A and B are shown apart, each in its own frame.
Chain A
Amino acid sequence: MDASVILFYVISVLLVLSSLMVVFLRNVVHCALALVVALFLIAILFVMLHAPMVGVLQVLVYAGAIMVLFLFVIMFLNPTASEPRRKLWWGFGSAAALLLAASLAALLSNGEAPADPVTATETFGSPETLAKSLFTDFVLPFEITSVLLLVAIIGAVVLAKREP
């Protein structure tokens, strides 16, 4: 087996394990940290798929900024008592998970491999390639997204500056 295939399986197993830990650990801070590990492992998968830029952004944005804010809030609220198990939600969650698993299984079992798979080149996910497609082919969606983010920032500032 190829070394990269072995690496893929090792990382995938770790990824599934850490994702399970996010759901099943009883301590909220431990759950959040397991999620950080999962996000980091996904970043490694991106790097292995010749998309280092996306991988680094994954670490920078999700693991480095958003999860820190999650931890921030968790530590401020400091939920000492573990969450009680809610039977109803367990039922809903299990049903949704089963449904997802069934649809995934159906997709994977009757799906056919594409006739001419495209092999990603070394520069497929490089910053240059990504920037070029962002600022030429996808410039309108890109700008609209940035305006959306700007609106969200202004909204946050307005909410935070509420008069006493």
Chain B
Amino acid sequence: MIVDIGIVAVKAFLVLFMVLNLAGILGWIERKGSALIQDRIGANRASVFGFAGMGLINTLIADPLKFLTKEDFVPPEGDKFLHTLAPCMTLFTALVTFAVIPFGDVLVLGERVINLQVANLNIGILYVFAIGSLGVYGIVIGAWASNNKFSLMGAVRGSAQMISYEVAMGLSVIGILMVFGTLELQEIARGQGTLIRDMLPESAGFLRSTVGRLPAWGIFLQPLAFLLFFTAAVAETKRIPFDLPEAESELVAGYHVEYSGGKFLMFFAGEFAEIVTAAGLMTTLFFGGWQVPYLMRDGFHFPWGEAVVLPHLAVTALQVGAFTLKVIFFCWLQILLRWSVPRFRYDQVMRLGWKMLLPLALLNVIVTAIVIIALQ
């Protein structure tokens, strides 16, 4: 009993530690990356005892310290309690989503089998959407409690945008759920460990020997769904090209214009934690989660017949490592996107969400259903 609780606590701590630190590192990468793209040098002024070489580590420490020592200002006409609650809600919803994302298969230690996932819920992906839908409150409450018109404009834009894209996001995942027949993220990740040829009938000999050798990752089975999901996920994180809620050239800073100090840091960290969570979801749903191609529980089994036997711990280490690398890749992709494309107009955001993503997601569901029935 106590050992079980301890294991869950350790897993929760590890995941929170990884997500928060990755969020912090992303804050640095965002500045360094933008500098790289814009041909500047970027953040290099944080030095500890005149030692500026360790840019990442210094900035990781200097950034929060700077925020925490600044004045925490609450607008006198605002609502003090809700003004404090809002950033907490944003950070909370961003962090707890990762609880259902599996970061590895099972780890066998002696008699004990540890599922490398903080919480294994049979409603899996629905939990992600439920928590995601609560994320709207952070910006709505924060903006209202600030008693500022720019804030309120940002919140109205933000909530309309998040609700719209949640619909498209939910529909785009339906295809994946149909293919793997489960809502549990761990089962979806396991399902992606097979090869495509196992899903094809015997008669499709040519397809089985060519495409069939690819692992059955979501991206190969549902390429359109990935594009839709990626777009909707970026819109959910409220970053360029979808950063209308804070559009600094129109709304100063939108919903967090009246925030400073530690509370602003929470909004800031929440945004990066959302990026990490979105990357985790993309990895789990479409890029095999913790799967390494052709790596089974006892080692590599290549489709051309060779096999390499590996011990259990090495396999687990490879899987967790692969998951981490994939997540970091998608985080980087989202940051790269922010510095590469301009911001949409608001009507364009709404048109894209309702008139492009939604019908395409519906089409994807119908086509997937037809293909599944045809293959049966």
A residues in contact (CB < 8 Å) with B: 29-30, 33, 36, 52-53, 56-57, 59-60, 63-65, 68, 71-72, 75-76, 126-127
Contact = CB atoms under 8 A, between A and B. Distances in A.
B123 A127 contact: yes
A60 B133 contact: yes
B325 interface: no
Interface string B219-250: 00000000000000000000000000000000
Contacts of A59: 130-131, 133-134
Chain A: interface secondary structure?
helix
Contacts of B183: 127
B283 interface: no
B133 A64 contact: yes
A33 B141 CA distance: 9
A36 B137 contact: yes
Interface string B123-135: 1001101111110
19 contacts: A33-B141, A52-B122, A53-B123, A53-B126, A56-B126, A59-B131, A59-B133, A59-B134, A60-B129, A65-B133, A68-B137, A68-B140, A71-B140, A71-B159, A72-B140, A72-B156, A75-B152, A76-B156, A127-B126
Nearest to B145: A29
Contact of B123 (A36, A56, A76): A56
Contact of A68 (B82, B122, B130, B159): B159
Given A33-B141, A60-B129, 17 more contacts: A29-B79, A29-B82, A36-B137, A52-B121, A56-B127, A60-B126, A60-B133, A63-B134, A64-B130, A68-B137, A71-B137, A75-B140, A75-B144, A75-B155, A76-B156, A127-B126, A127-B183
B154 to A, nearest CB: 12
A60 B130 contact: yes
Interface string B143-162: 01000000010011001000
Interface in B77-123: 79, 82, 121-123
B52 interface: no
B136 interface: yes
Nearest to A72: B159
Nearest to B170: A60
A88 B120 CA distance: 52
A56 B144 contact: no
A30 B163 CA distance: 22
Nearest to A63: B134
A65 B137 CA distance: 10
A4 to B, nearest CB: 16
